[in-house]
């Protein structure tokens, strides 16, 4: 059987589920999928691919690659990963087809000349590139556009038993929520998520519950929540197939007013409109079409006014939910992500031959 090795920095739980799907699909095409990583989360359920956990080191990683003898390599690394350039150069020297999975540059510092120079050199070394969405191609030199593919970044719900997830009655009872309409904030609570916007400009609609889930909350934020009757902080929720998804299933809207990430995809999976502040967001904002499947508000007054308007017009709200489902099916489904990868691998192998 042919072999693909993915060389990655630390691997989080949601990526492991993506790789389970990748492994199944690659196996159907005659490839073994192997993950080489510096470390990984533990998840419920088994992994369906072989994992090599190795402390980062140039010679250690090169030896692993030599032992595996892959037919193609995917790198999922940044400039902080010191093995990035050595692995890319090794693939070039040994004629191993190389696919770089990347946001193209560090999109949080898009005008950093040295970082951009180094990322562009990695682009040159790769035989193919997989970008998260089409929005990032503007950061790739035109000479490399021909080898760009799009692995629409998403989460895997493959083999997920959606009907077994408990609903709003379970959530309300477990967390003591009184209201039927839930605005869900679920994230690692960091400044860029802008939880403070929800706390400093709270909803005045007493029929709406604002539920905050995640680790990293400050004492000051907890104290603000304690003064708001319709606000609930429920702590860090186990990220398994049921507890976190029960929150998404029960919510009417999802938000992180600041930086939206992959949780946006989970909201779309559950057909929940996403409402956030217009401004800098992670690449997944590509899926949010303001007014179609959610809303990007100019400020918090506009934010709450939109939600209130949807609460007063259920036909408009249900149209939003239908559009969320359409967006997930057409763009954010895991099959679209995999297509970008297999197309890139086929291109890289053909290029090397």
What confidence tens digit (pLDDT) does each residue in 74-103 have? 999 999 999 999 999 999 999 999 999 999
Q: Which position has the higher pLDDT, 34 or 242?
A: 34
**How far apart (Å, rounded) are the C-alpha atoms in residues 218 and 186?**
15
pLDDT at residue 45, rounded to an integer: 79
Give me the pLDDT at residue 86, please.
Answer: 97
Residue 212: pLDDT band (50, 70, 90) is very high
**pLDDT tens across 227-267, in order?**
999 999 999 987 777 899 999 999 999 999 999 999 999 99
- Compute the mean pLDDT over every residue in the chain, rounded to the nearest whole number: 95
Spell 198-236 as b/e; 16+ CB within 10 A means b. bbeebbebeebbbbbbbeebeeebeebbeeeebbbbbee
Supply the pTM of this predicted model: 0.92
Reported as a pLDDT band with limits 50, 70 and 90, residue 353 is low
- Average the pLDDT over 147-151 and give the result: 97
Split at pLDDT 50, 70, 90, the class of 193 is very high
Instruction: Work out the percent of the chain whose per-residue pLDDT is above 90.
Output: 92
CA 330 to chain centre: 17
């Amino acid at each position: 059987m042919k072999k693909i090795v993915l060389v990655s920095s630390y691997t989080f739980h949601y990526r492991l589920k993506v790789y389970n799907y990748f492994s199944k699909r690659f196996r159907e095409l005659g490839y073994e999928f192997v993950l080489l990583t510096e470390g990984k989360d533990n998840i419920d359920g088994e992994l369906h691919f072989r994992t090599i956990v190795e402390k980062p080191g140039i010679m250690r990683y090169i030896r692993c690659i030599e032992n595996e003898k892959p037919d193609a390599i995917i790198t999922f690394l940044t400039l902080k990963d010191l093995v990035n350039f050595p692995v890319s150069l090794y693939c070039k020297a040994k004629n191993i087809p190389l696919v770089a999975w990347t946001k193209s540059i560090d999109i949080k510092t898009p005008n950093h000349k040295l970082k951009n120079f180094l990322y562009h050199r990695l682009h040159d070394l790769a035989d193919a590139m997989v970008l998260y969405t089409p929005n990032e191609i503007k950061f790739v030199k035109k000479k490399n556009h021909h080898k760009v593919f799009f692995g629409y970044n998403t989460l895997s719900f493959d083999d997920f038993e959606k009907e077994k997830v408990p609903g709003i009655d379970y959530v309300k009872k477990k967390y003591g929520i009184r209201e039927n309409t839930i605005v869900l904030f679920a994230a690692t609570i960091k400044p860029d998520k802008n939880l403070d916007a929800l706390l400093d400009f709270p909803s005045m609609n007493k029929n709406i519950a604002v539920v905050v889930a995640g680790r990293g909350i400050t004492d000051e934020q907890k104290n603000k929540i304690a003064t708001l009757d319709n606000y609930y902080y429920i702590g860090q929720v186990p990220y398994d197939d049921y507890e976190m998804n029960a929150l998404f299933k029960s919510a009417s809207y999802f938000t992180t007013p600041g930086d939206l990430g992959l949780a946006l995809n989970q909201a779309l999976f559950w057909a929940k409109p996403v409402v956030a502040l217009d401004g800098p967001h992670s690449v997944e904002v590509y899926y949010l079409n303001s007014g179609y499947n959610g809303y990007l508000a100019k400020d918090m007054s506009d934010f709450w006014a939109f939600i209130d308007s949807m609460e007063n017009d259920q036909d408009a709200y249900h149209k939003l939910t239908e559009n969320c489902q359409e967006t997930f099916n057409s763009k954010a489904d895991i099959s679209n992500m995999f297509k970008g990868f297999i197309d890139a691998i086929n291109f890289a192998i053909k290029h090397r031959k």
